[in-house]
Amino acid sequence: MLEKKITRRALGAVFAALLTVPSLSTLASAQSKPLGPIVKRLKKRHKAKVIDARLVTRSGVAAYRIKLLTKKKQLITVHVNANTGKRIN
């Protein structure tokens, strides 16, 4: 009986914690840089084709993860801060 109460309390705490975590759309606010110009800049810099581009979180920051394929068939993954447009290492 005691184990069930502890488990229910633990689940309640986990659920409450999940409700306080900001969603990805909240992190990528209206101040986010548009993806188009960022992709265009990376394609030009690396002379590559874009394979995938999506919004992710990286260290609690909204970021674009962009995968590029070069002419030499090398896969490059770049993370760019969605709010500033600067590359994240």
Quick one: pLDDT at residue 7? 61
Query: Which tokens is 19 given?
Result: 């409700």
Q: What CATH code is assigned to 24-88?
A: 3.10.450.40
* Residue pointed to by tokens 């689940």: 11
C-beta separation of 85 from 50 below 8 A: no
pLDDT tens digit at each of 89 positions of the chain: 444 555 666 656 655 555 555 555 555 555 789 999 999 999 999 999 999 999 999 888 899 999 999 999 999 999 999 999 999 97
> How far apart are alpha carbons 87 and 6 in whole angstroms?
44
- Cβ atoms of residues 56 and 14 within 8 Å: no
> Would you list the domain boundaries of the chain?
24-88
> DSSP secondary-structure letter at 33?
P
Token code pair at residue 28: 């990528």
